[in-house]
Chains A and B, each alone.
Chain A
Amino acid sequence: GQNIDQPTEMTATEGAIVQINCTYQTSGFNGLFWYQQHAGEAPTFLSYNVLDGLEEKGRFSSFLSRSKGYSYLLLKELQMKDSASYLCAVSKAAGNKLTFGGGTRVLVKP
């Protein structure tokens, strides 16, 4: 089976930086995804890591360490619109199935 853990909630101030950690245990690892989901909407793709290291995309960066089963999503220069749930998902090699963590609700305060 797969265990994917991430914090339930985080609060941060507008303009600040927030780091959302995700740990996982899985067999047949084929990559880790981060999605953003606003309330009542479908998830939107943010980033994908399959090799160790940091992937940067504008204000969002994602890091992966396969040996540690660990990833984080870094949100810089937080804006009010970044208030959402952030979902960590692991893909297995067979079938490209995604297994999601419980999601982290981020609240950005002025």
Chain B
Amino acid sequence: GAVVSQHPSWVICKSGTSVKIECRSLDFQATTMFWYRQFPKQSLMLMATSNEGSKATYEQGVEKDKFLINHASLTLSTLTVTSAHPEDSSFYICSAKQEYSNQPQHFGDGTRLSIL
């Protein structure tokens, strides 16, 4: 079945650091990928829709300059958390849906980001 790979799984870094998270669709092409954030004991909140070859679409309240999204190929989207601060510590999860299919979105394994 469709597989989505997310890297890295864990990141611990100092405040002010920028962190890049990669999301890859391994055996299918995805012109659209999605980035979510999940705080402890809460549900997934959609941050943005990543569109291959064009600008990402951000949800209301999500800072575009803070969370940079690049979707340069049909199998790779990246999320960069710029100048991260402790309040950015969260579980970030990407998902992708195979184009022109009835398959549901498949999620990556998530990235746990801890900012000290």
B partners with A: yes
Contact A102 B46 (CB under 8 A): no
Contact segment of A43-51, A53-61, A63-71, A75-83: A43-51
Chain A residues positioned under 8 Å from B57 (CB to CB): 95
Chain A CB count within 10 A is highest, among B95, B104, B108, for: B104
Q: B104–A33 contact, CB under 8 A?
A: yes
Which residues of chain A are near B109, meaning CB under 8 Å? 41-42
Main secondary structure of the interface of B (DSSP, over half): strand
Size class of the contact patch on chain B: 20 to 34
Encoded as 1 (CB less than 8 Å from any A CB) or 0, chain B from 89 to 116 comes to 0010101010000001111111010000
The answer to the question of B44 belonging to the interface, with a C-beta cut-off of 8 Å to chain A, is yes
Minimal beta-carbon separation of A73 from chain B (angstroms): 14
A98-B34, A102-B43 given as contacts; is B105 within 8 A of A42 (CB)? no
Q: Is B54's beta carbon under 8 Å from chain A?
A: no
Which residues in B have some Cβ–Cβ distance to A below 8 Å?
Answer: 6, 32, 34, 42-46, 49, 57, 91, 93, 95, 97, 104-110, 112
